[in-house]
A and B are shown apart, each in its own frame.
Chain A
Amino acid sequence: MDLLLDGLSWVLLLGGGFFIFVGGLGLFRMPDFYTRIHAASLTDTMGAGMILIGLMLQAGWTLNSAKLVMILVFIFFTSPTSTHALAKAALFAGIRPLISPPEKQENAKDDGEDAPS
């Protein structure tokens, strides 16, 4: 049983580390501000989530686990708020989002151009 818990917790910890790494890599690979936010959101959803759950499995039914649950809940409530604030601020500061050439939706591009005004 201990071995199973340990194994599961290691899988989660390594998986979380992997997603944080991919998020960091995405920050370099993505072309503009808005797409970089998407990459960064990998780290605070799957990355943080998997690492915290992995740590909970290590801590067992203790007070520390309860604290880790709280950290997880706080991250899940606050991170979309800060991401939204960041994206909205960028939009109103006039940073034009990079739009891929439309295949069929012409209006999708217009929405992006009109919004900052």
Chain B
Amino acid sequence: MRHAISLSVLLFGVWLLLSGHYVPLLLSFGVISCLLVVAVSVRMDVTDHEGHPIHLSIAALKFWPWLVWQIILSNIAVAKSVLFSSHPISPNIILVPAKQKSDLGKVIYANSITLTPGTISLELEGDLILVHALTREGAKDLAGGEMHDRVVKMEGKA
């Protein structure tokens, strides 16, 4: 129920921002279509903590700035490998542990790995993620586990 309410609020917020027409007729169309979408997703049973993880909101706000910073750093590193032959690539594949409690935490971790340039999660199986890294340094940074610990922390606080 909590998730259904927050989903309705979120959908209507998005509708308001996208439409830009604030007359009663169109607003009521917006309300009706939002409620219809919520009704369909409740029936499909996707308005749970996985499909709509509101319990992570505050922790995610702390995690994202750090992730954005990592993305900027690794973007510069990959751009250097593309541009300069003094930064050669050394593609390799490593297995990194994903000890997050929930599937959601593991997916957030795997997606964060993919989102940072230079590392791609190829497969998530059980507690392990198969990662393709562009350079050995990138693989080493990831194996250092800072991103892993931060995702665990974000999940744990909720």
Contact = CB atoms under 8 A, between A and B. Distances in A.
Interface in A35-76: 35, 37-39, 41-42, 45-46, 49, 63, 66-67, 70, 76
B132 A87 contact: yes
Contacts of A115: 93, 122-123, 130
Contact of A97 (B75, B79, B93): B93
B93 A108 contact: yes
A11 interface: no
Contacts of B105: none
Contact of B92 (A25, A70, A76, A105): A105
Q: Taking each of B20, B116, B132, which has the highest tally of chain A beta carbons within 10 Å of its own beta carbon?
A: B132
Interface in A96-116: 97-100, 102-103, 105, 108-109, 111-112, 115
A38 B92 contact: no
Interface in A6-53: 19, 22-23, 25-26, 29-32, 34-35, 37-39, 41-42, 45-46, 49
Contacts, number: 115
A41 B117 contact: yes
B13 to A, nearest CB: 10
Interface residues of B, number: 37
B91 A99 contact: yes
A115 B121 CA distance: 13
Q: How large is the interface on A (under 10, 10 to 19, 20 to 34, 35 or more residues)?
A: 35 or more
Contacts of B120: 34, 37-38, 41, 83-84, 87
16 contacts: A25-B82, A26-B78, A38-B120, A42-B75, A45-B75, A70-B14, A70-B18, A80-B115, A84-B120, A98-B91, A99-B93, A100-B90, A105-B94, A111-B94, A112-B92, A112-B93
Interface of A: 19, 22-23, 25-26, 29-32, 34-35, 37-39, 41-42, 45-46, 49, 63, 66-67, 70, 76, 79-81, 83-84, 87-88, 91, 97-100, 102-103, 105, 108-109, 111-112, 115
Interface of B: 14, 17-18, 20, 71-72, 75, 78-79, 81-83, 89-95, 110-112, 114-123, 130, 132, 134, 136, 139
Given A41-B115, A108-B94, 6 more contacts: A38-B78, A67-B18, A80-B115, A100-B92, A100-B136, A111-B95
